[in-house]
Amino acid sequence: MNAFDIKGKLALVTGATRGIGLGAAQALAESGCDVMLVGRDEAELERAAAELRGLGTIVTVLPFDLLQTKKIADWMKGVFEQHGTPDILVNSAGMSRRGMAVDQTLEDWNDVIALNQTAMFEVCRTWARARMAEGEGGKIVNIASLMTAAARPGTSPYTASKGAVGQLTKVLAVEWASHGILVNAIGPGYIDTDLNKSLVSDPKFDSWVKSRCPLGRWGLPKDIAWPIVFLASPAADFITGQVIYVDGGWLATF
């Protein structure tokens, strides 16, 4: 038996049109998973799906705005009835609104908390209810952040939400362990994605990231994708409730 084999599994990935989510979907597809892609923009989902179908996997496009947190449960139940309940859940959808805490609007705060925290909670528990009803376990991988463990000025909603992701991951792991549901999180370092485009293109910030990171570079979506595949595989069957930082050594130094 190949302990890293996930061929034939079904994975649902939120935030799947770009960045870490798209990278995760691609790595899962390359590993033999069928994938369900969730995102707000149907055209972008179709573009991502076209790339993945070239790998010979079944790709299902599921347009939905996760900011509609009160509608998540009913929407997901319909998805599972039509397409089956996925074995693997990757929560990658997220947003950031930058600005100092005294200047942030309450709308900015509420939107970030709603997507990064509340939507993740609702997606996780709706999926878990379905797996439990079917008598099946499964794997959840949440996308946390360096900000789960540290902070920078101007990131209060994002940092608060990602701190919550770390603790949510732990409590769900403890609550659902007896059902064979394992819950972990990846805490990415600074990753070169569309979300960070303005930071990557800022020469001063770019230089700071490269000088501060022991490996001397920005991470790439694939650097996060393969650890996600590992956590989704049987090789990680005794790992749950963990936040694994994939940060180029960032948190190891000062």
Catalytic residues: 158
* DSSP symbols for 182-197: EEEEEEE-SB-SGGGH
- Cβ-in-10-Å burial (0-12, 13-18, 19+) of 37 comes to buried
The residue with tokens 């000025």 is 153
In the chain, the amino acid numbered 236 is: A
- Cβ-in-10-Å burial (0-12, 13-18, 19+) of 30 comes to middle
Question: Helices 120-133 & 156-176, crossing angle to 10 degrees?
Answer: 10
Distance (Å, whole) CA 221 – CA 171:
27
Alpha-helix residue ranges (DSSP H) falling in 42-86: 42-53, 72-83
Residue 40, CA distances (Å) to 14, 104, 125 in order: 10, 24, 21
Handedness of CA 24, 82, 50, 4 (dihedral sign): positive
Rounded to the nearest 10°, the torsion over CA 160, 164, 166, 172 is -170
Residues paired with 38 in a beta bridge: 14, 62
Distance (Å, whole) CA 240 – CA 224:
18
